Amino acid sequence: MNQIIRFCMSCGEPTQNRTPDGDNRSRAVCGQCGEIHYVNPKIVAGAVAVHEDRVLLCRRAIEPRKNYWTLPAGFMETDETVAEAAQRETREEALGEVRLNGLLSIGDVPHIGQVHMYYLGELVDGVHGVGIESLETRLFTEAEVPWEELAFRTVTETLRHYFSLRSRPGFDATSPGAPYQFTAQWKPAK
């Protein structure tokens, strides 16, 4: 969930929650040096890496959602682009290189302060392997996708959109068009 900032990152003194002058939201403000600490959404970048008619999924070796299947994806870093982050995550989690063809989906996840962005791409030579955060990686046809064992809502929505798009006449894998945009609302676990 969102970070709680109890102490100032600059001087180490305790913060107080208050609305700074000229602002309209409560922030963690340092009681000593006055620094305002903003908490902003994080971008999760990932890829639908396709080889022939199959998509690459990874079974998670780590929490949250350990053992569930996910698209390769993770938190974007500050010195890269969204596309580079999607490629790096595919490399780290699935030991694969992905050639990106365009943005496929954008999922807002406001209750945890995240925005998930998935690219459509081709898995180079179909090569993949088990990265450090994965237990297993595998290429799935549409019929084989373990829908009930997917890790995250945004993964399910993105895969559904991809297969729907792919089934349309004139589908061009190199140009997925306007990204599918959706909001993943909070829903209690079953």
Q: Tell whether residue 17 is a contact of a second copy (CB under 8 A).
A: no
Q: Buried (b) or exposed (e) across 127-151, using 16+ Cβ within 10 A?
A: ebebbebbeebbbeeeeebeeeebb
* Region near a second copy per CB under 8 A, out of 33-41, 122-130, 136-144, 151-159: 33-41
Look up residue 94 and give its amino acid.
A
Q: Tell whether residue 63 is a contact of a second copy (CB under 8 A).
A: no
How many chain residues bind a second copy (CB under 8 A)?
47
Q: Tell whether residue 81 is a contact of a second copy (CB under 8 A).
A: yes
Residue whose C-alpha is closest to residue 56's, from 4, 115, 1, 131 = 131
The angle subtended at Cα 64 by Cα 61 and Cα 68, nearest 5°, is 55
DSSP state of 7: B
**At its nearest, how many Å lie between a second copy and the CB of residue 186?**
11
Q: Tell whether residue 75 is a contact of a second copy (CB under 8 A).
A: yes
Query: Binding residue for a second copy (CB under 8 A) from 65, 95, 108, 156?
Result: 108
* Region near a second copy per CB under 8 A, out of 48-56, 136-144, 148-156, 169-177: 169-177
**Side-chain-side CA neighbours of residue 105 (13 Å):** 27
Q: Tell whether residue 8 is a contact of a second copy (CB under 8 A).
A: yes
Q: Tell whether residue 97 is a contact of a second copy (CB under 8 A).
A: no
φ, ψ dihedrals at 90, nearest 5°: -65, -40
158 within 8 A of 147, measured Cβ to Cβ: no
Contact positions with a second copy (CB under 8 A) in 139-158: none
Query: Binding residue for a second copy (CB under 8 A) from 36, 95, 115, 165?
Result: 115
Residue placing its CB nearer to a second copy in the complex, 24 or 52? 24
Q: How far apart are CA 97 and CA 74, in angstroms?
A: 15
Residue with tokens 């993964």: 155
Residues at the contact surface with a second copy, assessed by CB under 8 A: 2-14, 22, 25, 37-43, 75-83, 102-103, 106, 108, 110-111, 113, 115, 132, 175-179, 181, 183
